[in-house]
Amino acid sequence: MKKTLAIAALASVALTGAAHARDQIRIVGSSTVFPFATAVAEEFGKTTSFKTPVIESTGSGGGLKLFCAGVGEQTPDITNASRRIKKSEVETCAKNGVEAITEVKIGYDGIVLANSKAAPQFELSKEQIFLALAKIVPSKDGKELIENPYNNWKEIDPSLPDEKIEVLGPPPTSGTRDAFTELVLEEACDEFPVIAELKKADKDKHKAVCGGVREDGGYIEAGENDNLIVQKLEANPVALGIFGFSFLDQNGDKLHGSKIGGVSPTFEAIADGSYPVSRSLYFYVKNAHVGTIPGIEEYLAQFTSDKAWGDEGYLADRGLIPMDKAEREQVREAAKNLTPLSM
């Protein structure tokens, strides 16, 4: 109890000075949410008396680490995330005095595997993607687990292109990487009997096999800058890139998304759930900073306005898949009231 009071007292002192030291919102986090947050921040700066927020693309994990470091003007006010905050991160936040957090779900996004339109569109199953990218895979006869031997897509399935496996994607700190691992690799791995059996014998090893990504050049970590991946795909038509749908949507003249499970990544297919690799997007607010760092409540109002995240809002024009009206209203109310997150 004494420790909590001491942290709160220090936070209060830090924030009292913050009113003079910082007069604009500081936001960190997901590279996927970054273009949506940037659009809102620019609109916010143009249409209110507050300064345009400063936004840094650090990846979801990196953003939450900065956000949870403590309370005070040296720490971010908001962090964007392309996955939900983990219970362990909430606990880290609380340990460092960040005890009241408001979760704001902003909509949906698909994760795509895309390549240059100068090359044919890929059609892949989740199992084929697992065989291409996992560190450990079943042997051809399916009886044992081996280091990934595949260098060419055609080695996995004769129907696939006769091209080198080269996939550019995000690092482990990225929410897109977390979501891709969960929605593609982990879902596919138990379709292989030898891996499904491992789940019964050794859960830790099973988890490592299902989530392990190869490190021999087949998968190339391309940092948190999704625009850089897009540029590299233009330069190398046979390579594939992993990123959020919005970046494909904005670069549809240069790139096309692979069909996964027979479904192309389109706005409609993600919205109706038929595209199999989709996830929710969020940002998190440090409630202790509200009322001291100017403009946070007004920024929340801007982001949760129909003008921004509605069916015909300017964020939909940038590739965000809106929630339905009832869910938007529920989230808007929670944001307005700064309802603390409970897990």
Express each pLDDT in 299-321 by its tens digit.
Answer: 999 999 999 999 999 999 988 99
Same-domain status, 185 and 301: no
pLDDT at 6 over 60: no
pLDDT band at 128; cut points 50, 70, 90: very high
Write down the pLDDT at residue 175: 87
Tell me what pLDDT residue 106 has.
97
Number of H helices, E strands in the chain: 16, 13
Kindly give the interhelix angle for 325-336 and 296-303, rounded to the nearest 10 degrees: 180
Q: Which domain holds residue 62?
A: 26-108+280-337
Number of domains in the chain: 2
Are 118 and 45 found together in one domain? no
pLDDT at 281: 95
Answer left, alpha or beta for residue 259, where phi above 0 means left and psi between -120 and 50 means alpha.
beta
Inside any domain, residue 33: yes
Residue 150: pLDDT above 60?
Answer: yes
Are 170 and 289 members of one domain?
no
Name which of 104, 86, 38, 37 is nearest 286 in CA terms.
104
Q: Which of 14-28, 58-72, 117-131, 298-312 has the lowest mean pLDDT?
A: 14-28
CATH code assigned at 228: 3.40.190.10
Number of other residues whose CB lies within 10 A of the CB of residue 311: 12
Say if residue 156 is in the same domain as residue 127.
yes
User: In this prediction, what percent of the chain has a pLDDT beyond 90?
Assistant: 82
71 and 95 Cβ atoms separated by less than 8 Å:
no
Rounded to an integer, the average pLDDT of 100-125 is 96
Residue type, 304: T
Confidence of residue 3 (pLDDT cuts 50, 70, 90): very low
